[in-house]
Amino acid sequence: MVKATKDQVDQSTKGTRPKTRDRILQVARELFNEHGEANVTLAHIGEHLGISEGNVWYHFRTKNAVISAIFMELKAKVQANQQRDVGDLRQVSQLQDLLTRGFHLMWEYRFLLRDNINWAVAQQDVYAQLIALTNQVHIFIENALKLLCQSGILAIPEWQIPIVATNLWIINRYWIDYCQTRNGQEQITEQSVQEGIEQLRSIVFPYLTPLGRQILNRSDPMNTEENATNQA
């Protein structure tokens, strides 16, 4: 969860209309995603909201402050995503759900991941935070793999776990970008999310134990063909 700000507390007591601060963050994120962060100013954001640049400025003094706030949103969502599901990885539907939400986050916050060069050169605080978050996610994936090995679902040699975790993270991180570049795709679709999950599954599939295959078979009718092939 995003830490409750004064605005959000006000919102919950006053009614359903999103507060200006939240609307600024949402519109900024959409404009950054669509046009690239470098091409969007505080004035553009105000214009899109039908409010003055001064009103935007009242909430955020610089574009950097907007970006930092958006980054904090992403970070909070990634952490919430991780905390909610890690105990239930044996349930494949939970895992599927975790991955689906992961891909959606990558799409919703894609400018943060895509516009690397800007952070590295001009906004080093964002860059440092991005690196820290990347490392956090990596550790999460490693731990999840270890858990699945301990549960007897996967059998990955210990020394290979960081390598497999890195491949999973890279596919998760860049899948959406890849879909766009390969197909000139303008929007994320449920199909591309499902295909991304299939890509991730194919990385861990060869390491499934017989128990793992059994669990997958029980919870996921999609896998019948794969299991038949892998067991052959």
Binding site for a second copy (CB under 8 A): 35-36, 38, 113-118, 120-121, 127-128, 130-131, 134-135, 138, 157, 159-160, 163-164, 166-167, 169-171, 173-175, 177-178, 180-184, 198-199, 202-203, 206-207, 225-226, 229-230
Least distance (Å) between residue 36 CB and a second copy: 4
What is the DSSP-derived secondary structure letter of residue 206?
Answer: G
Least distance (Å) between residue 125 CB and a second copy: 12
Least distance (Å) between residue 34 CB and a second copy: 8
d(CA 229, CA 73): 42
Residue 15 or 184: the one with the smaller Cβ distance to a second copy is: 184
* Residues recorded for the chain: 232
Residue 4 or 117: the one with the smaller Cβ distance to a second copy is: 117
Beta-carbon contacts of residue 27 (< 8 Å; ≥ 6 apart)? 45, 48, 49
Determine contact, residues 193/101, Cβ cutoff 8 Å: no
Helices 42-49 and 20-35: crossing angle, nearest 10°?
A: 120
d(CA 180, CA 89): 30
Residue 31 or 98: the one with the smaller Cβ distance to a second copy is: 31
What 3-state class would DSSP assign to 2? coil
User: DSSP for 121-134?
Assistant: HH-HHHHHHHHHHH
Residue 59 or 208: the one with the smaller Cβ distance to a second copy is: 208
Least distance (Å) between residue 184 CB and a second copy: 5
Residue 51 or 222: the one with the smaller Cβ distance to a second copy is: 222
Least distance (Å) between residue 217 CB and a second copy: 17
Where residue 209 falls (left for φ over 0; alpha for ψ -120 to 50; beta otherwise) is beta
Least distance (Å) between residue 223 CB and a second copy: 13
Residue 177 or 220: the one with the smaller Cβ distance to a second copy is: 177
